[in-house]
Structure 1
Amino acid sequence: MRQLLVLGAGTAGTMVVNKLRRKLSRDEWRITVVDMSDRHFYQPGYLFLPFGAYEPEQVVRPAAPLIGPGVDVIRAEVDRVDAARNQVLLLDGRSLPYDDLVIATGVTPRPDQTPGMLDGGQWRKTIFDFYTYEGAAALAKALERFDAGRLVVHITDMPIKCPVAPLEFTFLADDHLRRLGRRDRVELVYATPLPGAFTKPIAAGRLGSMLDERKVTVEPDFLVERIDGTRLISYDEREIPFDLLVTVPLNMGADFVARSGLGDELNLVPVDRFTMLAKGYDNIFALGDANDIPTSKAGSVAHFAVDVLVDNFVAHAAGRPMTGRFDGHANCFVESGAGKALLIDFNYDTEPLPGRYPLPGAGPFRLLGESAVNHWGKLAFRWMYWHLLLPGRPIPLPAHMSMAGKHTPVPGK
């Protein structure tokens, strides 16, 4: 019997095992997923925890019921992949052979990589993150107490999970402080390593103007070298003092990727961006945040990439060429406060453009435009995530980006 081994039971790992279990013969294929956690977290919900919009129990569920029947689950930590022998070694001493391997272990925040962030005595006192369950819950308590001073939202470096989330946090913090009557006593600063609010010019212009409208000071091209007490210090010696720092630490892939010799300097697995096949290997794939493809590390990317990979894998397993090509399709709701949100939709070659999605003219979602419908779409996605996306059920959205309904704005109009 052939062995498909999947490392990681997060968004990408859970989707791929549930979809492939329906596609691969149970007489020919054994599917096993390895993950050390018995809980599954809805990571987009972390954004809402600091503002009390979600309760903690709404973003976490037991992991076991989310994996469909016919998939073996091993609760363990990976030591390394021995690609030469087609086996994975676990920290408990076990070894797992495979015919094909999928790495879907994502990325995690690494505050230890920035001097003074974790070891300066301010972690979870004046320095917080919201990219972890524990961090978002701790930040909620800090925001309750914070009523005056300088609040700095900071990105250490790219790439990060959901690159619009720091912007969303800034917009929601502005709205939160206004509703509490504290906004005029708080200076909001957005410090980013990017030259502006976003990587693509049209979206960067729109999102940047929204920061301006909310009187948020933007510190662009800010590459932090260290944190000294309550000061961010960049490599070019600029300083940003803070009373409360909400930071996005460096995001890195799993350490076993480095130990296995499979990753780059951030422990991301280099892959063919169209097939997710690891470079230099014919039986190792890397999905979701764990790979180095040049698009957003977002749940939508995992969803669309899995849709392409599943059919490719079936062909690959049968000795046929993989003809499916993932185009880098990503779409992300961007919460903007006051019960509104934007939507962006883009891929490797096309930047976010204004228009309507998914139906031209009808929408119902606006691209690069704020609306209440977009906000409700983001909230509704939580139900879709648990009940459709993770189980691998069909969602009526094409894996490949379409230009239908989009238009390129004319400068000056």
Structure 2
Amino acid sequence: MSDVIVIGGGPAGLAGAIACADFGLDVTVIDEFLKPGGRLLGQLHQEPSGDWWNGIKESERLHQETKRLAVDIRCGVSVYNLEKEGHLWNVHTNSGVLEAPFVLVATGAAEYPIPLPGWTLPGVMSIGAAQVMTNVHRVQVGKKGIIIGANILAFAILNELQLAGIHVDRVVLPEKNDLSQKAGDPEEVMKSLLNAAHLAPSSLLRIGSRFMKNDWMRKIGLRFYPKNGMKVNGTPLQLRKAALEIIGSDQVEGVRVADIDSNGTIISGSETIYDADFVCIAGGLYPLTELAAVAGCPFQYVPELGGHVPHHSETMETPLEGLFVAGNITGIESGKIAMAQGTTAGLSIAKHAGKGAGAIDHQLQQAVQNVRTVRHEAAIQFNPEIDNGRDKMKELWDHLYIKNNDGVPREKLG
């Protein structure tokens, strides 16, 4: 039996395991993928400072540190249930049941699908799948592709595909409907992209984006947005075109696209077909929270964090004794923030396990502050109102819960 079981071997899980093991706790990490690292394994981009962020090297650094601390990492293991029995958590996996008094759930995020006709054809994939195939498996996803969906994640991975020599012909929106929601609304898409406009490769785009943050200027800008789009690193971003259908018999052959007005309404008679041999659908990310829900953790819908997230404190504890969370399960942010949260969760677990004496309180507060600092210094945010979302969760936690003398959060009465 371990002292701590970490579910998820990504940046949050590995950082949490390292922090726990540093205090002498026996830690087991389980992950369904064939190697540890999570989404780090697919990340490769240049930061505003000019430095390169190489996720594969970062994951290897974390992995080597877990080896040094004798953390037991088990890959290819899936978890399907999580329940408390007495003072122990039972973690049900495809290779048996594991027990521990402390569990850190660091399951990360999943991608929103945007269904449209033809999306089951071979050659259609999520934008995240294209990233993994390109950067992890070194497989060329195709020779000429189209991305359906324009968001921060899509453009980060677009750049990675370009670095690998893969040609992305254009980025278009999905058709506006109940399934695509904001992803098919040109104004909502522009609003979200403006929060990363300071990273635009063109000085014209950077300067122009400042004016577009005004509501009426944005509406004018969309009205006169060129139908052929504006190029991002050579790939046209076409906010006035929407994908209606992916064309092909046995595999992707093209995408049927129509012009749309500034409200996302299809302009009749404007349809055309663009050739492509692969299509990436970019619907954005949401927290992967099923295990915390199965465990009985209460949730709150916080759109600024990406959806429903488990109740948690700034020290990453939940209302359930011995259950902690870290990373994108708590809100969609970068790998660096996930690591900072993982370290915070690990220190919090060590404190609850009676490790570190009085000094750990100071370390824990420093870790909480470091999360804020990393967030403040982040070049981009997947959800621009992330600070508001974090404030909402903190207010909710402070309003609902109080710690007893044993340090365990209890729901306030009345």
Same topology, TM > 0.5: yes
Structural mapping, 1:395-406, within 5 Å = none
Query: Aligned pair count?
Result: 310
1:33 aligns with 2:29: yes
**TM-superposed deviation, 1:81:** 0.7
Confirm or deny: 8 A CA contact 2:8 2:29 kept in the other structure. yes
Confirm or deny: 8 A CA contact 1:271 1:285 kept in the other structure. no
> Matched residues, percent identical?
11
Residues 42 and 17 (structure 1 numbering): CA distance in 2 closer, same or farther, change over 3 Å? closer
Unaligned runs of 5+ in 2: 46-51, 175-181, 210-228, 248-254, 390-414
User: 1:276 is aligned with what amino acid?
Assistant: M
Q: Distance in 1 between matches of 2:274 and 2:386?
A: 36
Confirm or deny: 8 A CA contact 2:173 2:239 kept in the other structure. yes
Q: Which of these two proteins has the greater Rg computed from alpha carbons?
A: 2
Local SS of the residue matching 1:67: helix
Confirm or deny: 8 A CA contact 1:128 1:135 kept in the other structure. no
Residues 272 and 261 (structure 1 numbering): CA distance in 2 closer, same or farther, change over 3 Å? closer
Q: 1:91 aligns with which of 90, 93, 109?
A: 93
**TM-superposed deviation, 1:167:** 2.1
Q: 1:189 aligns with which of 134, 153, 172?
A: 172
1:72 aligns with 2:72: yes
Structural mapping, 1:151-190, within 5 Å = 151-154=146-149, 164-170=152-158, 186-189=169-172
**TM-superposed deviation, 1:138:** 8.8
2:407 counterpart residue number: none
| CA RMSD in angstroms, aligned pairs only | 5.3
Would you tell me which structure has more helix in proportion to its own residues? 2
Q: 1:276 aligns with which of 316, 334, 351?
A: 316
Residues 231 and 80 (structure 1 numbering): CA distance in 2 closer, same or farther, change over 3 Å? farther
1:214 counterpart residue number: 231
Q: Distance in 2 between matches of 1:247 and 1:168?
A: 14
2:329 counterpart residue number: 290
Unaligned runs of 5+ in 1: 156-162, 335-341, 351-413
2:140 counterpart residue number: 141
Confirm or deny: 8 A CA contact 1:87 1:95 kept in the other structure. no
1:304 counterpart residue number: 340
Residues 213 and 304 (structure 1 numbering): CA distance in 2 closer, same or farther, change over 3 Å? same
**TM-superposed deviation, 1:102:** 0.5
User: 2:337 is aligned with what amino acid?
Assistant: V
2:178 counterpart residue number: none
Q: Distance in 1 between matches of 2:266 and 2:152?
A: 24
Confirm or deny: 8 A CA contact 2:28 2:72 kept in the other structure. yes
Q: 2:106 aligns with which of 72, 81, 104?
A: 104
User: 2:127 is aligned with what amino acid?
Assistant: D
Q: Distance in 2 between matches of 1:277 and 1:299?
A: 20
Local SS of the residue matching 1:272: coil
Q: Give a deviation string over 1:281-301, Cα, whole Å, max 9, x none.
A: 23211111222x3xx421111
1:129 counterpart residue number: 127
**TM-superposed deviation, 1:274:** 1.7
User: 2:147 is aligned with what amino acid?
Assistant: V
Confirm or deny: 8 A CA contact 2:230 2:237 kept in the other structure. no
Q: Distance in 1 between matches of 2:61 and 2:160?
A: 29
Q: Which has the higher contact order (CA 8 A, sep 6+)?
A: 2
Confirm or deny: 8 A CA contact 2:15 2:343 kept in the other structure. no
Local SS of the residue matching 1:133: helix
